[in-house]
Amino acid sequence: MNAQAVVILPIALPLATMVMLLLSLKSVPAQKLIGVVGSTLLLLSAATLAWLVDRDGILVLQAGNWPAPFGITLVADRLSSIMVLLAGLMVFAVSVYSLASVNDSRVSFGFHPLIQLLLMGVCGAFLTGDLFNLYVWFEVMLIASFVLLTLGGERRQLEGAIKYVTLNLISSAVFLAAIGVIYAATGTLNMADLALKLRSFPDEGTVSVLSMLFLIAFGTKAAVFPLFFWLPASYHTPPVAVSAIFAGLLTKVGVYSLIRAFTLLFVTDLEFTHNLLLLIAGLTMVTGVLGAMAQNEVRRILSFHIVSQIGYMVMGLALFTPLALAGTVFYIIHHIVVKTNLFLIGGVVEQRFRTGRLDRIGGLYRSAPVLATVFFLSAMSLAGIPPLSGFFAKLTLIRGGLEAERYAIVVAALVVSLLTLFSMTKIWNEAFWKPAREDAVTNVSPRRRSRIGRACLYGPTILLASITVGIGVMAGPVMNASMATAEQLLDQNAYINAVLPDGPTGQVPAVSSERTSQ
């Protein structure tokens, strides 16, 4: 087995786990056991992949040994491997957390196989080097997420799901249309080959149209302004374990695709595309955080903050300098860990009080000091207080902005950061600091939980909080990795040469010139 074969593992392992899970659907303990073991294996394979990519550079696997651009290519570069590693980490945390938070009826209706299917789609999207294959992985991920979102069939879940399904289907249709047009224009769907062909593409207008189609398709998935409305309408409705993994991973697949498209494919007209991205980034940050300030329920506030933070990631991409892109990568690493953790903590709060509404809860600082500590660390990290991970992520982005002399976006980023702090303080004050209401329902007191149940709830949150602190304390190595990733992203030739070692392929068959005239 050579190193290339590891690239397929993050896709194959969830598939194998899912099959095992479907075979043992009747037994709830088996579901839980296989789910956690499968997630652990995925995490290990992702870590191996990240290590190999760090050591050997870009790993390419030509599926079925068909040379690119004719077959489907799987590519693991630094960005892909970091994303897969984070996905593995999140699914591990969420699987453990779900043991104590997802009820048995949802487990017996296939919660664990669906999580694995979701992860297969997510990892596939991160690793593929082919546009149509990316579409297929998107759909795998979407179908799994549709079912996860509605599993249980509660009233608000169904309402949220209608909006989520509709907007995601529209974005898929746009994506498919964009694939059709780009194939017609260039005759290839392999990303490396596309990058080469678009470089010397004669018709600038077509390239602009294509870039906008992809911007709409990926932007909807990434929830940027003004395409984000599905996110706050649906993310607070499913069980906490589900919304935590959605919050951590799904929008980031959209962001990843945006990064891929606008660092590899559409880099010929930076004046137009990346300035537009910068505008979108600013508006996304601001609208997201303003939406969050108007909310009064833990998970709704956090959902709007996802939108706001997508803005930061797009900001680094739009500035398109090595430092700013490194900021984006750092921000994604920080955001996935912190955001998932905040949702998990919000879930523990909701479990205690049977609601996430801020006016009904309180007193957690006194009754759950551990929870308060992990929440405090994660929330301050989200707001960007040193020495936590968020501080360094934002610092890098802002330094990137200053270096590129884009002061407006820097001001926006700083103001939004302040408002984030305000909004986090609101949750802190209401849920943790103020005394509990006399009539608050606390029918799930921690004493009545088993020791293992508590470990399953608190373990993942403590793990993720310590990772946040760890990234902050050891910001140097993470920063180096982000810088290396950014440099690799900006060096398109490295990617192209890795996928197409024999140089560009010949011209496309001249079908289009010889069409029938009937």
Partner 1 sequence: MDILLAITVGGLYAAGIYMMLRRNVVKLLIGLGLLSHAANLLLFTAGGLVRGRVPVVPDEGAWPLVIVADPLPQALILTAIVISFAVLAFALVLIYRTYQTLGTEDLDELKATDT
Contact between 124 and 139 (Cβ < 8 Å): no
Angle (CA) 59 61 62, round 5°: 145
**Least distance to partner 1 from the beta carbon of 233, Å?**
5
CB of 210 to partner 1, least distance (A): 11
Q: Is 150 among the residues that bind partner 1 (CB under 8 A)?
A: yes
Nearer to partner 1, 232 or 362 (CB): 232
Nearer to partner 1, 191 or 329 (CB): 191
From 300, 305, 335, 339, residue interacting with partner 1 (rule: CB under 8 A): 300
Alpha carbons 95 and 111: distance in angstroms, whole number:
10
293 binds partner 1 (CB under 8 A): no
Neighbours of 204 (CB within 10 A): 11
Site for partner 1 in 229-258 (CB under 8 A): 232-234, 236-237
As a whole number of angstroms, the distance between CA 505 and CA 186 comes to 12
> In the numeric block, which tokens belong to residue 460?
């993942």
Q: Which is nearer to partner 1, 203 or 514 (CB)?
A: 514
**Is there binding between residue 106 and partner 1 (CB under 8 A)?**
no
The region of 153-161, 355-363, 365-373, 482-490 touching partner 1 under the rule CB under 8 A is 153-161
Please, which residue, 218 or 304, has the CB nearer to partner 1?
304
Interactions with partner 1, residue window 158-177 (CB under 8 A): 158-163, 165-166, 169-170, 172-174, 176-177
Shortest distance in whole angstroms from residue 221 CB to partner 1:
15
Which of 139/491 has CB closer to partner 1?
139
Residue 135 C-alpha from the chain's centroid: 16
Q: With respect to partner 1, which residue has the nearer C-beta, 159 or 269?
A: 159
CB closer to partner 1 out of 159 and 403? 159
Residue 29, number of CB atoms within 10 A of its CB: 10
Contacts with partner 1: how many residues (CB under 8 A)?
Answer: 52
- Location of structure tokens 């900021």: 327
Question: Residues 402, 406, 412, 416: is their CA dihedral positive or negative?
Answer: negative
Least Cβ distance, residue 295 to partner 1 (angstroms) = 7
Q: Look at residues 58, 103, 60 and name the one whose alpha carbon lies nearest to residue 78.
A: 58
Our finding on whether 205 is near partner 1 (CB under 8 A) is: no
Which residue from 28, 30, 44, 147 is in contact with partner 1, where contact means CB under 8 A? 147
Task: Report, in Å, the least distance between residue 272 CB and partner 1.
Answer: 23
Q: Report the alpha-carbon distance of residue 230 to residue 253 in Å, rounded.
A: 16
Closer residue to partner 1 in complex, CB, 56/154? 154
Among 101, 295, 308, 461, binds partner 1 (CB under 8 A): 295
Can you name the residues that pair with 128 across neighbouring β-strands? 74
| Site membership for partner 1, residue 64 (CB under 8 A) | no
Minimum CB separation of residue 320 from partner 1 in Å reads 30
Q: Which stretch binds partner 1 (CB under 8 A): 80-88, 151-159, 314-322, 433-441?
A: 151-159
Per-position DSSP letters for 102-141, written without gaps between them: S-HHHHHTTHHHHHHHHHHHHHHHHHB-BHHHHHHHHHHH
With beta carbons less than 8 A apart as the criterion, state whether 304 and 282 touch. Answer: no
Rounded to a whole number of angstroms, the minimum distance from the CB of residue 46 to partner 1 is 26
Q: In this chain, which of 19, 23, 184, 441 binds partner 1, going by CB under 8 A?
A: 184
63 binds partner 1 (CB under 8 A): no
**Consecutive H or E run containing 38:** helix 28-56
Q: Which residues pair with 73 in a beta bridge?
A: 62
Which of 140, 149, 165 lies closest to 111, judged by CA? 149
**Minimum CB–partner distance for residue 70 and partner 1 (Å):** 9
Nearest-angstrom CA–CA distance, 106 and 117: 16
Torsions phi, psi for 73 (to 5 deg): -105, 135
Among 239, 248, 291, 347, binds partner 1 (CB under 8 A): 291
- 297 DSSP 8-state letter: B
Residue 223 C-beta: closest distance to partner 1, Å: 14
Query: Which stretches within 320-388 are classed as H helix?
Result: 322-353, 364-367, 369-383
Give the C-alpha separation, 17 to 29, whole Å. Answer: 15
Closest distance of CB 181 from partner 1, Å: 6
Stretch that binds partner 1, among 60-68, 134-142, 264-272, 340-348 (CB under 8 A): 134-142
Report if residue 226 touches partner 1, rule: CB under 8 A.
Answer: no
**Cβ density class 277-309: b for 16+ within 10 Å, e for less:** bbebbbbbbbbbbebbeebebbbbbbbbbbbbb
Q: Which residues bind partner 1 (CB under 8 A)?
A: 132, 135-136, 139, 142-143, 146-147, 150, 153, 155-156, 158-163, 165-166, 169-170, 172-174, 176-177, 179-181, 183-184, 189, 232-234, 236-237, 291, 294-295, 300, 304, 507, 509-512, 514-516, 518
